[in-house]
Structure 1
Amino acid sequence: MNKITNYQLFAVTFIFQLGTTIIFGFGGSAGRDAWIAELASCFLGSLLILVYIALMKLNPGLSLVQWFPAQFGRWIGTPIALLYPLLYIYEVGRIIADIRDMVSTALLSNTPLSIIAGLFAIVVAYCVYGGIPGIARLGEMFLPIVLILFCIEGILLLGSGVMHVHHLLPVLEHGWGPIWKAVYPPGITQSFGETIFLAMFWPLTQNPDKVPKITFLSTYLSGIMITVFNLMAIMVFGNLFAGFLYPLYTLLSVISIGKFIENLQMLGVLYFLMTALLKSVALMLAAVMGIQQLTNRKSFKPFVIPACAVSLFLGLTMSRNIAEHIYRHHFEVLVPYIWVPMLIVIPAILLVVTVLRRWIGKTFTS
């Protein structure tokens, strides 16, 4: 099986962490202090990633779904491990729902939602069939495009004269309460806690010893990039930032230079489609690889079509509109009842069990 290079791992991790945050924004509940919430989330999220890295080092050569049977035993560990591929498939369904609503709202208002979602699911399935080399090439291709678009957007916003530093003031107007509400649990788990999904690919890197350094570097850079996006949006919209459903998409609509360079929302759609596609492919590949490893099959490819079909069904049926999708399913259900247990609690318990088993083993053998 082909290995992932250091650059490819960095590219995939960086874009995966940006994900849909690059268009939905982050920390709207913190108002003009959303940029502080993002920095705090990045710092605390990196501590959570430290737990994942420790688990990788304590279980050398094993992927995420193999950690649990190795430490909890086959009968307890396998059912727990299976929850993660199922979560990946659900996450892809959520991204398909994001695509469904975003594209139909911004571009193809008269196109049936099933056509938009179905085409995206087909592209995801095609890319997943390419395996590790496919996702690695996607990361290599998308990373420079995302960074170039980001620089272009910043330059055009500065040239438009629409950003005002006074919109950032007063800092901490309502104290740390709204910031902490944005940080925990949504800020820590979104993007940063989700990095555990990439643990499916860590054993497949050319230099496993470089995984911690690459992962932390991409984490800090993605956190800085989202923080800069928030700062730009707040300097343009002020407190109105919290009221926009797609703040970073809306931000592009205010660019106007000489009445010639205007209406650049397509850049936002391009951002969104690239990051959403790579994240979906990574999640789906991790899901089918996880199922393959847990069922001891020779290939993950027989699972691709059924898994993508389930994600498509979920993407079309899990919510009736974008408001229900985000505020009900994400903040009220997904974050507290799924992400917190699976991204924080279970990995923490696994780390404690792993350390205790190693300590006990050394005690009895010495």
Structure 2
Amino acid sequence: MEKAKIGAYQFFVLLLLFELGSAVLVPIAIGANRDAWIAILISTVGGVLLFFVYYRLYKFYPQLTPTEYMEKLLGKFFGKILAFAYILFFVYISARVLRDFGEMLLSFAYVDTPLFIVNTLFILVIIYALQKGIEVIARTGELFFNLLYLLAVIGFILIISSGLIDLNQLKPYLEQGWTTVFNVVVTETLYVPFGEAFVLSVILPYIKDTKKIKYAGIAGIVLSGINLSLVMAINISVLGIDLATRSQFPLLTTVQSIQIAEFLERLDVFFMVSMVIGIFFKASIYFYAAVSGTTILFKFKEPSKLVYPIGLVILFMSITIANSYSEHLKEGLDLTTRFLHPFFLVLAPVFLLAIAYVKNRKRKKK
């Protein structure tokens, strides 16, 4: 879609920021109760395996984006249908991430502000970033990556210093057995956030250090899995499983609990800044994938002209997607995680890889 070059480290940063994104915001894997952190760690292993699937597809077609190699593998007709379905999927998920952002800000600080205003301002920032190109987004990611981890370390130190952590809240381990943990893994956390790494396939052709892509991808997924597992363990050990389950934003509740020497409190700004950074990159990359796919599929010569109309679609979809945040979450679990994610993030890529292997063998025999 553009002539851009990004480094392997920048890819690692984008992947990590993307994986954390809104996953830190919501109580992922909470269906495993106290063992949510274990479910996340197991899902990390599955995420690495899925990344190998995406990476192998890239190795077969290193110069092509998913939209292009889908046509080569499935033929023009079926390839275009699947590519168009992926574009709709990217737009839909970008709208869901934008809705997560709006709901977080409304509950945190802007209680009386309409959701439309908050989401509009945020989507305008994303549109501006996308018009600058993926190279600028990657460089911005490098800057915010350091800030994000600085805030994370400070927040972790403050939580420990405040004496809020009670590790007994994590016991008993495996109270409901391995069955519950693996059920959460295969129905939820394998896809969100680890399987979502497929969307970064659109930027793989832009990476200069092709030999380092595999290691950068594995490092990004493993580190994000460790971070998410640690965050979930802290949430449960501070809030207890009952409050962590009921809370819409457990990490926000945890941060609000920090109180040191009766003067250092209300550190919600740490949470808000971290969330804005993560959600910005997650929504931006999904948005970029939708624009990239549309540009290639319909052969647009000026991708920048697509940014505003697709941005409007994402904005209005984020508002109309659900009547309330609880309905939004329920739709995510009942529709997105059960049907859309398994197909678009696991079944379709594995099927495409199988076809690629068959075609590659035939080519070698010839």
Tell me whether the two structures share a fold, i.e. TM-score over 0.5. Answer: yes
> Is the 8 Å Cα contact of residues 92 and 283 (structure 1) preserved in structure 2?
yes
Q: TM-score, normalised by structure 2?
A: 0.97
Matched, 1:279 2:282: yes
Map 1:182-193 onto structure 2 (within 5 A).
182-193=184-195
Deviation of the 1:274 alpha carbon = 0.9
TM-score (norm 1): 0.97
Q: How much has 1:72 moved relative to structure 2?
A: 1.1
* Displacement after TM superposition at 1:285 (Å): 1.3
Q: Say if 1:22 and 1:271, in contact at 8 Å, map to a contact too.
A: no
2:358 aligned with 1:356, yes or no? yes
Aligned residues: 363
Q: Where does residue 299 of structure 1 map in the other structure?
A: 302
Shift of 1:138: 2.2
Which amino acid in structure 2 is aligned with residue 237 of structure 1? L
Mapped to 2, the partners of 1:326 and 1:56 lie a distance apart of: 33
Distance 1:93 1:71 in 2: 29
Secondary structure of the residue aligned to 1:190 is helix
- Indicate yes or no: 2:204 matched with 1:202: yes
Please list, as runs of the form range in 1=range in 2, the aligned pairs for 1:126-141 lying within 5 A after superposition.
126-141=128-143
1:45 to 38, 44, 47: 47
Opposite residue 318 of structure 1, the aligned amino acid is I
Tell me if the contact between 1:253 and 1:264 (Cα under 8 Å) persists in the aligned partners: yes
Deviation per residue, 1:269-288 (Å, 9 max, x gap): 11111111111111111211
Structure 1 letter corresponding to 2:33: G
Question: Aligned residue for 2:252?
Answer: 249
Deviates more, 1:309-318 or 1:129-138: 129-138
1:73-88 matched pairs, under 5 angstroms: 73-88=75-90
What amino acid does structure 2 have at the position aligned with 1:143? F
Distance (Å, rounded) in 2 between the aligned partners of 1:238 and 1:316: 32
State which of 46, 60, 65 in structure 2 corresponds to 1:63: 65
User: C-alpha offsets along residues 310-364 of structure 1, whole Å, 9 cap, x if unaligned?
Assistant: 000101101011110012x10000111211111111111111111011112222x
- The separation in 1 between residues aligned to 2:335 and 2:140, in whole angstroms, is 31
Provide the identity percentage.
Answer: 29
The alpha carbon displacement at 1:249 in A equals 1.1
Residues 280-321 of structure 1: CA distance to partner in whole angstroms, max 9, x if unpaired? 111111211111111222231111001000000101101011
Q: Is the 8 A contact 2:16 2:223 kept in 1?
A: yes
- Give the counterpart of 1:171 among 170, 173, 194: 173
Task: Give secondary structure in 1 for the equivalent of 2:56.
Answer: helix
Tell me the SS of whatever aligns to 1:176.
Answer: helix
1:114 aligns with 2:113: no
Distance 1:337 1:197 in 2: 17
What's the CA shift for 1:90?
1.0
Q: Tell me the equivalent position of 2:344.
A: 342
> Comparing 292-301 with 154-163, which one deviates more in the overlay?
292-301
Bigger shift: residues 13-22 or 286-295? 286-295
State the 1:151 CA deviation.
0.5
Match of 1:234 among 225, 230, 236: 236
* 2:147 is aligned with 1:158: no
Measured on the aligned residues, the alpha-carbon RMSD in Å equals 1.1
- Whole-Å Cα distance in 2 between the matches of residues 211 and 83 of structure 1? 27
CA distance in 2: counterparts of 1:84 and 1:139, whole angstroms? 25
Amino acid at match of 1:88: F
Does the Cα contact within 8 Å between 2:37 and 2:230 map onto a contact in 1? yes
SS at match of 1:201: helix
The one-letter code sitting in structure 2 at the alignment partner of 1:83 is A
- Would you say the 8 A contact 2:27–2:245 is kept in 1? no
Supply the distance in 1 between the matched residues of 2:317 and 2:140 (Cα, whole angstroms): 25
Give the deviation of 1:134 after TM superposition: 2.2
Conserved 8 A contact 1:28-1:243: no
Q: Distance in 1 between matches of 2:180 and 2:155?
A: 29
Amino acid in structure 2 at the alignment position of 1:298: K
